[in-house]
Structure 1
Amino acid sequence: MGANGSTRRVSFTKDNQERVTVLQGMRLSENLVSRMKDLPQPLSKSSSSVSAEPDQQGGDSVTLKHSGTEEQLYRRYEKEKAMVKEELSKLAEQEQVVAIADLKEHVISAGEQQNKQLNADYYRLASAQFNEEATIADTRVKMRNYEPLCANLQSQILNCYQENPQLTLKCSTFAKEYRRCIREAQMLLVNHG
């Protein structure tokens, strides 16, 4: 408020019990109210006069007609007016700081919400793509059931070796026939594969 050149005028009075009454609605600090209570009582109307006249800028200003005590009062009035202006300026700065902090918090919160939404969308898209590729892979790679090649010869060789652990040459005919069977199966796979 004080930074852009605007001013506010505050009127106040004191009653018999030294209570300060603000005539124009402003929020004043306790420090300022206590200083206002310390102001000397106004002089009787016969010894001084106070008139409100428009100043050159169009506002109201108080002109005191008498010197001495009135001059001290006027200086004190100007000092208090400057303090009020300073208080209002501080309040405006504090409100601005709070507003900026609230705005930052709102922006951060909105950014976090947007990131969460983007992450959720990305997860859904990645899951859908994975499931689609897995389905395609399942159709391309078929489960194959293989039967062992030359299974009967394989079992005959095994039985022969178990029956003749010291005479393995007795099983050589089975081993030759097993190798021939395997070669024939390989040839079939190469030619028909």
Structure 2
Amino acid sequence: MGGSSSTSSSPGRRISLEQDADGGVVKVSEDVLRRMFGEEESTKSTGDSRNSEHLPRRSEARWKVRMDELEDHYREKLRNAEEKSAAFYKLTADQFQKAADEVEAKFMKQQFVPICENLQNDVVKCYADNPKQTLNCAQEVKAFNTCIEQARMNILLKRGVGTAS
């Protein structure tokens, strides 16, 4: 592997490894698999035809059992990973909700009473009554602006800021 190749001194053994370009999968020949499971190579003949007939079936059965074990193992790993992911999601969602509740309690609790609402309504009504003559509403707009400035000054004085001008 890794770009180098080796040859076995035994004339009947042949090892071939192929690396799949897509997923990093290494393909191993059947002879190598048989040796991994402790079975004799298919090229050796024992002279007993019954023994050679049972060899593929035993190998196939072992292979199936091993594959089932691996499948169960990785299903369990997948289930554990899904459980961890779900727990992490729940923890993250809970933390987000807690942070959102804190922000809401800190900033959203304040309720504001409309300032100069009656003067604002007068301005809106005047604009509606005089859609093409908005200068006719100058008195209402001036009164509304004066009211807003007074309310702003009152709020600043309550907070102890004072005026900058």
For residues 16-66 of structure 1, give each alpha carbon's deviation from its aligned partner in whole angstroms, at most 9, with x where no partner exists: xxxxxxxxxxxxxxxxxxxxxxxxxxxxxxxxxxxxxxxxxxxxxxxxxxx
Q: CA deviation at 1:98?
A: 1.7
Cα distance 1:2–1:182, how it changes in 2: closer, same or farther (>3 A)? closer
What is the CA–CA distance in structure 2 between the aligned matches of 1:159 and 1:3, rounded to whole Å?
Answer: 101
Q: CA deviation at 1:186?
A: 4.5
Cα distance 1:3–1:157, how it changes in 2: closer, same or farther (>3 A)? closer
Cα distance 1:91–1:189, how it changes in 2: closer, same or farther (>3 A)? farther
What is the CA–CA distance in structure 1 between the aligned matches of 2:83 and 2:98, rounded to whole Å?
Answer: 23
Counterpart of 1:168? 134
Contact 1:3–1:89 (CA under 8 A) maintained in structure 2: no
What is the CA–CA distance in structure 2 between the aligned matches of 1:110 and 1:178, rounded to whole Å?
Answer: 76
Counterpart of 2:118? 152
Counterpart of 2:8? none
Cα distance 1:161–1:114, how it changes in 2: closer, same or farther (>3 A)? same
Cα distance 1:159–1:111, how it changes in 2: closer, same or farther (>3 A)? same
What is the CA–CA distance in structure 1 between the aligned matches of 2:97 and 2:39, rounded to whole Å?
Answer: 69
Cα distance 1:188–1:107, how it changes in 2: closer, same or farther (>3 A)? farther
| Superposition TM-score, scaled by structure 2 size | 0.55
What is the CA–CA distance in structure 1 between the aligned matches of 2:153 and 2:132, rounded to whole Å?
Answer: 34
One-letter identity of the residue aligned with 2:91 = A
1:92 maps to 2:26: no
Q: CA deviation at 1:86?
A: 2.9
What is the CA–CA distance in structure 2 between the aligned matches of 1:104 and 1:187, rounded to whole Å?
Answer: 80
Counterpart of 2:85? 122
One-letter identity of the residue aligned with 1:162 = A
Structure of greater Rg: 1
Query: Higher RCO, 1 or 2 (CA under 8 Å, sep at least 6)?
Result: 1
Q: CA deviation at 1:190?
A: 6.3
Give the 3-state SS of the residue equivalent to 1:149 in structure 2: coil
Cα distance 1:185–1:123, how it changes in 2: closer, same or farther (>3 A)? farther
What is the CA–CA distance in structure 1 between the aligned matches of 2:117 and 2:90, rounded to whole Å?
Answer: 44
CA RMSD of aligned residues (A): 3.1
One-letter identity of the residue aligned with 1:95 = R
One-letter identity of the residue aligned with 2:86 = Y
Q: CA deviation at 1:97?
A: 2.2
